Amino acid sequence: MATIYARIPDELRTALDDYQSQRRVKLTAAMVELMEIGLGAVTDKTTVAALTERLAAAEADAAVAREMAIQAENARQALESRMNSQADAFAAVGGALNQTIGKCPNPNCGKPISGRDLVVSHACGTCTGSLADLLDPAQTHGSSINGTQYLLLIGALGLLVGMAVVAQSKNP
């Protein structure tokens, strides 16, 4: 065990004597106990300061993470809205493609034709006769094609193409 000699103020010596008498220990034991308590407090103060710094850093990181989560949720909602709009447009186009828009111009057939027959296959679904001439608006005048249904189909297709162009321009 090491020996320490120290000069201390009278008030500190009086406090040390009071502590010794309360504990009923020798002066050396009282000094060792008080030094251990004091050194522990200094160490704990350093530890508390380090923990306080780590807590502040963690709170800052959590704030950044919360902001990123809010931005991600906003982006998700925007994408969901865009996806729903596109789904509605696709449903409208699909509905227009499935609608009967007139009769086959083949005099031997005359069966109903759909927008799909006209735009996708360019052929009557029954007789497989060509419908390509009906895609020319000049050819539809006086034909068996319902002009309103034809225009709705062309409008739906235009909407679909427009959405594709916008989507492509946002995601090059």
- 106 phi-psi bin (left φ>0, alpha ψ -120 to 50, beta other): beta
In order of 36, 108, 113, 119, the CA distances from 130 in angstroms are 101, 13, 11, 11
What pLDDT, in 10s, does the model give residues 82-123? 888 878 877 777 776 777 878 887 888 888 888 778 777 778
Residue 3 lies in a domain: no
Residue 35 lies in a domain: yes
Same-domain check for residues 71 and 19: yes
Proportion of the chain above pLDDT 90, given as a percent: 27
Same-domain check for residues 121 and 73: no
Mean pLDDT of the 144-169 span: 67
Whole-prediction pTM value? 0.43
| pLDDT score for 141 | 47
Residue 45 lies in a domain: yes
- The last residue of one of the domains, among 46, 79, 112, is 79
User: 3-class secondary structure for the chain?
Assistant: CCCCCCCCCHHHHHHHHHHHHHHCCCHHHHHHHHHHHHHHHHHHHHHHHHHHHHHHHHHHHHHHHHHHHHHHHHHHHHHHHHHHHHHHHHHHHHHHHHCEEEECCCCCCCCEEEHHHHHHHCECCCCCCECHHHHCHHHHCCCCECHHHHHHHHHHHHHHHHHHHHHHHHCC
- Band of pLDDT at residue 152, cut at 50, 70 and 90: low
Same-domain check for residues 104 and 70: no
Cβ neighbours of 75 (radius 10 Å):
10
In order of 43, 45, 51, 69, the CA distances from 56 in angstroms are 20, 16, 9, 20
What pLDDT, in 10s, does the model give residues 116-149? 787 777 788 888 888 766 666 555 445 556 566 6
- The last residue of one of the domains, among 79, 114, 135, is 79
What pLDDT, in 10s, does the model give residues 2-12? 878 888 899 98
Q: How many domains does the chain have?
A: 2
Same-domain check for residues 75 and 13: yes
Residue 66 lies in a domain: yes
Residue 30 lies in a domain: yes
145: containing domain: 99-166
Is the per-residue pLDDT at 49 higher than 50?
A: yes
Residue 129 lies in a domain: yes
